[in-house]
Amino acid sequence: MKEFLKHFAWFVVLLLIQVLILDQIHFLGVFIPFIYIYAILRLPSNLSVNVVLIVSFLTGMIVDIFSNTPGMHASATTLLGFLRYPVLQLFVLKEDLGNRNVSVSWLGGVFWKYCVILVLIHHLALFMLESFTLLNISQLLLKIPVCSLLTLLFIFAMESVNNKKDDRRS
């Protein structure tokens, strides 16, 4: 129950930061980090795919409601939730997937590969849905990696804070 409350608190905090602060601040007028996906990336590794899909969809829908983007975040985060387990299996043996939170302290450097792949997939899906055309492909090709990099920088910062908390507990 304690782990559930901890994850729920993370979801609430990240969603509030996303919709109240980051959606209002655009770096260089165009680029937005999407830190709310960090909560989905950190879900326990043994969580059912159905639960992950429902949580991902609801998370994206909440962002859609506050961002006035009908269904775009919901579809991108649902795709993220769907691909989360197969991407995790690329780096971790099925036998090693226990009741663990996906983090740097468990996966080490593999965590960053896992994050990079899923953040790029999420951003690619989101921005392709947002533009719904390839007429401005140059802007799209700039926006996807820059927003992904910003998101990964925020994830790195949050993961550093989490690791320091975990180190103090040990």
Q: How many CB atoms lie within 10 A of CB 155?
A: 23
Q: Which has the minimum average pLDDT: 33-42, 68-77, 161-170?
A: 161-170
Q: What average pLDDT does the segment 78-100 reach?
A: 83
pLDDT band at 170 (very low <50, low <70, confident <90, very high): very low
Q: What percent of the chain has a predicted confidence (pLDDT) above 90?
A: 48
Beta bridge partners of 101: 44
Q: How many CB atoms lie within 10 A of CB 52?
A: 19
